[in-house]
Structure formats: structure tokens, C-alpha cells
Amino acid sequence: MELEEYYERIQNSRPKLRFCEWFDEDSNMWDFTRHSHPYIELIYYVEGKGDVDISGTNVAFSLYDTVIYPAHKEHQDKKIPESRREIICLWIDIPELVFEEPIRLHEHDSILFNAFQTVFREGKREEPDELAMEYAMKLLLLLILREEREAQTGRQMLDFVLEYIKNHYREKITLDELAALEHISKSYLSRKFKERTGLSVISYINRMRIERSRQFLMASSLDVNEIAYQVGFDSPKYFHRVFKELVGKSPASFRRHFKSQ
């Protein structure tokens, strides 16, 4: 079905919210048996990760993922030892909208999270506004379909990885970790990352760390070695070498030059 037809069906529908909860796996609401629902089930991973068996195929989900199960699609969540999961779970009754297969999306810019929260908050009002509820559900479904189309055309390739690096560049980041975020191989990640940014993963991370270190050098009195650790380098010696390669001066020379101006 074309995207425009999905849009038209959603626009002309009257969706009903049949279930609306925000919970973790310690809650008795979490069903670890094989099951299905008569409605479309939408889940947003607020925290943690999970493995789900969907009709015999194992699918991994992680932080900020959205998954949509078609009505009557059997699935079974697997318990993961020493791992905490927290989700927003919605069941939407909209017979006009039929999905053949589950949809899985990576979040970016909190667009889907905000839409999930809007539906959840309206659904939990003591007296939900019927019109507001309908528009909130339609918006969520439209955003999901749009995000899926963009993901299929490749426009979102590595968005989640780039956002993760932006938020975690001070920490140790491995190729294995980044590849797992997109559920792709390390070699494919490396190739696509170079196509997208023009840099290798480590070069991209180093440039981000060096840019942040320049801000520290200009705006703080922190020791140069301390700055190296603050921006994510394990070794001050390596930090000095990378800084000089990218900036053309040593960190100390850069600081002196800035303060002399």
C-alpha cells in the first residue's frame, strides 16, 4: 500500500485507544507468554533493551526504539537477566489500518517519544477529550509511517549512531556498540559512516572531542591533562597528538594564543 493511501485511511478513521500504560518489566502488566492482540500494539522503549520472538524470528530492540505489532501478530518477549526495561505501550483500535509485518524504528530528535507521551497523557486524563485523543493517535500513526518511509529510503541511516556519539563522546565508544545500535555489522557501519560523514568513526569522535577541548581551553583554567580526560581521551599523550594534528598547535600553545588576543 502506498504511503498516501495509508494517510487517507488514517485521516478518515475514528481510532480508539484500548490500552495505555507506561511500565517496566517488574510490573505484572508485562506478558512474557506468546500472545497477540486484536488491535495494533505500539511500544516505545524508554529504557533498556529487549529480544522478542516474532513468528519464529528473533528481533532485538534497544533504547529509543519503536515497534508496532500488527493486530493478531503473535510475539513473545524474552526475559533478559540483569537488564531493566521500561516501555510505553498502546493498543489502538483502527480497523482501517492493516499492517502485514511489524515495524521497527530508531528514534531521533525525540519526535516519536513526544507523540507517544501526548497519547499517553491524554489517555490518562480523568476525562480524556475525545477529539484531542483522536488527533493525538492519528498524529502518532502518521509520524510512524513517515519515519518508516524515510528509514526505507536511507535518509535516516546512522542518525541514531550520530546522536549517540553526540551524547556519549566523553565515554568509551566501540564499533561493536555502535553497530549494535543499528543492528548492522561493523564493516557495514564503517563503510556507511564514511559515506555519510567523510570520516572514519574514530576520526569523527576525535574531532568532536577536540572541538569540545578547545572550548575548555578557551573558557576554563583546567589543566590540559584534565581536559583530555574530560572530553573522553584515555591518554593525555594521545590527546596532545590528535589536538596538534587537527588544530596545528599543541593544547598549551592554543590556549596561550587565545589568551594573548
C-alpha–C-alpha distance, residues 227 and 173, integer Å = 18
- Average pLDDT value for the chain: 89
Please indicate, yes or no, whether residues 129 and 193 belong to a single structural domain of this protein: no
Question: Worst-scoring range by mean pLDDT, 51-60, 203-212, 243-252?
Answer: 51-60
Please indicate, yes or no, whether residues 59 and 117 belong to a single structural domain of this protein: yes
Asked whether residue 71 carries a pLDDT value surpassing 70, the answer given is yes
Query: Quick one: what percent of the chain has pLDDT higher than 70?
Result: 96
Structural domain including 173 reads: 157-261
Please indicate, yes or no, whether residues 142 and 170 belong to a single structural domain of this protein: no
C-alpha–C-alpha distance, residues 203 and 127, integer Å = 53
Please indicate, yes or no, whether residues 143 and 258 belong to a single structural domain of this protein: no
Residue 54: strand, helix, or coil? strand
Using an 8 Å Cβ cutoff, are 160 and 107 in contact?
yes
Q: Choose among 208, 194, 113: nearest CA to 166.
A: 208
* pLDDT band at residue 197 under the 50/70/90 scheme: confident
- Phi first, then psi, for residue 196 (nearest 5°) are -75, -40
Q: Choose among 97, 98, 103: nearest CA to 44.
A: 103
Please indicate, yes or no, whether residues 117 and 211 belong to a single structural domain of this protein: no
The CATH number given to whatever domain includes residue 163 is 1.10.10.60
The CATH number given to whatever domain includes residue 62 is 2.60.120.280
Report the pLDDT value the prediction gives residue 141, as an integer from 0 to 100: 96
Report the pLDDT value the prediction gives residue 89, as an integer from 0 to 100: 97
Report the pLDDT value the prediction gives residue 147, as an integer from 0 to 100: 85
Asked whether residue 155 carries a pLDDT value surpassing 60, the answer given is no
Model-level pTM?
0.62
Please indicate, yes or no, whether residues 163 and 90 belong to a single structural domain of this protein: no
Please indicate, yes or no, whether residues 96 and 225 belong to a single structural domain of this protein: no
Please indicate, yes or no, whether residues 83 and 36 belong to a single structural domain of this protein: yes
Q: Once rounded to an integer, what is the mean pLDDT over residues 92-107?
A: 89
Domain limit, last residue, from 102, 121, 152? 152
Report the pLDDT value the prediction gives residue 106, as an integer from 0 to 100: 79
C-alpha–C-alpha distance, residues 33 and 35, integer Å = 6
Please indicate, yes or no, whether residues 63 and 82 belong to a single structural domain of this protein: yes
Asked whether residue 1 carries a pLDDT value surpassing 70, the answer given is no
Report the pLDDT value the prediction gives residue 239, as an integer from 0 to 100: 96
Q: Strands of 65-69's sheet, edge to edge?
A: 16-24, 86-93, 40-47, 65-69, 103-106
* pLDDT band at residue 49 under the 50/70/90 scheme: confident
Q: Once rounded to an integer, what is the mean pLDDT over residues 97-115?
A: 86
Asked whether residue 108 carries a pLDDT value surpassing 80, the answer given is no
Number of domains in the chain: 2
Please indicate, yes or no, whether residues 52 and 125 belong to a single structural domain of this protein: yes
Domain limit, last residue, from 136, 152, 168? 152
Using an 8 Å Cβ cutoff, are 25 and 62 in contact?
no
Asked whether residue 57 carries a pLDDT value surpassing 80, the answer given is no
* pLDDT band at residue 6 under the 50/70/90 scheme: confident
Report the pLDDT value the prediction gives residue 97, as an integer from 0 to 100: 92
- Higher-confidence residue of 100 and 238: namely 238
Report the pLDDT value the prediction gives residue 152, as an integer from 0 to 100: 67
Residue 257 burial by CB count (10 A; 0-12/13-18/19+): exposed, middle or buried?
A: exposed
Asked whether residue 134 carries a pLDDT value surpassing 90, the answer given is yes
Residue 44: strand, helix, or coil? strand
